[in-house]
Structure 1
């Protein structure tokens, strides 16, 4: 198999040699045919072999000019059939040229040339030999011309089919690679959002509680000690969430048992307690009947509330904040507001927080709007589906 592949590649690189091989074969067969007689083998008729070789000479460039080579070889073969009817292999060069034209030119041109050549060869052969035009030998040459054209078209169809199959395989491979790159990018963005949420939230609380402890260290050591305890709890929680997030990157698979528990709305009270311990009063209100939520919806709602309260604590200079969970028939509406002073730089910095909230909501089919309120302060509103539509293939 390897030898065949090497030979085929060598012929593709040396097209002149490939085109000349049929001419050499026809010439050798013609020389051998003239050496066979009734009495056995004898010296070949070299003149007939030379004429056959001359008729095959244009085949050396048959791949470059298939139509010109077909016309030239057909003219030489018809001349030999008419004036040297004893040369048995006269149409052979034309048959090779018709085959090449069928593999290189258009189908319509190949059939027109094949039928015209078959009629011409049959007519000239019938006129040059003492037998009817529709005799067996004449019709045999007609069939040869049609068969050469049909064989060339069949080979071309097979090549086209293989080329299309190869193109489809390459396209499928590129598509798989693009899909893999897309999934890697999405996973990278998701991990970046999780790390941002974890770090920004806990470090903000630690910073605020450290400020409280520093302020109260001399005047009220008990409250300062309490603030330091909150710092310890928040730093430990931050480390645990970071360890869980980074641990996902090291898992060889996505087995459910290998994942750390994800935050839920049931953990909202713990989140709010940490914010309150940092010095920002937060009121939580639930409207409607709480309904079972998809895990992705619960995680998204939790992360949006976490990010909104973290931004309020960092940038709004607010004295209080409010979280409203409104359970509708199909949508959970999450509203986070604060009473920060007008013109306070809410959402300052790189802006990754608001971008992350919108990306999280969009990923599950929800929306997020954020902006200042007319009466002052800032508001974040997220509308998230209670249940997610099944993915379609």
Structure 2
């Protein structure tokens, strides 16, 4: 069945009568628009930023404002990236200067023995090298001061561990401690005692304060809640009750320029932990492990085992950092006597030795005496 469409009869449209009208002064009128433009021009001369924020109703104006906001956001991102690069460069440069300073000081210290022995030529060479080192030490310390000194380095490091840049490294440790202490009653039991060496913030473990009691120390504290202390001068606890359950060395060992002192810090840490259950939390830049001529994962594990850290509880290689958790299974006194008895020598247990002779590698190493 086909339905035929019927056409409506076309009639004449009536036009509205043309009459004289009063001037239009409504919100959309020409007069109102001209007045608004005058007001806008005056506002633009006095406060252009507020003007931009007020003109965001819809349509093209909203698109224009959104574009402006995106430009501002992009500018902030670029500025943040530049700030991050500047912070990283300052930290790297300070590390480089600190290592060179340690080498110069070590040579001068060694020259005290050389100057009293050997031939006249050898003594003259030692004296000349000492003069060169003293000059270089003055230059290094001046450049460190120009960078802002240790205080500026600490501030840059604090900025580097901010939440916007990945946060501190403590979050990796928490599951490890929970696995090592499954019997721990976080609400009623005694809290774990944690020594945070080189602490940049006293609040790294604040979320876990119900079961972790933190003692933060640093050479140059950036917070009044951090105790000013050189770890190697910290008194060793004589009472077992005052020993720590956890010692944190996060990005501390690599900061020390002298390889022998790095080993001394690791050895000294054994005296602050509860034997059998104490955990050492060690964090190093990944290139110290994977791109060094003198160090790698296997050697580090052997070194730590020689100190009594015979159990590697866990380790993890992230993009830039290497995380380690070692358990102190043997008391430091027993382990030291055993190691010395076996070696039968006063030579370093782990001297500086080339392991990876490849180009573009760094010279990070640890010497255990």
Do the two structures share a fold, i.e. TM-score over 0.5?
Answer: no
Structure that is richer in helix per residue: 1
- What TM-score results when the alignment is normalised by the length of structure 2? 0.28
The higher relative CO (CA closer than 8 Å, separation ≥ 6) is in 2
Higher-Rg structure is 1
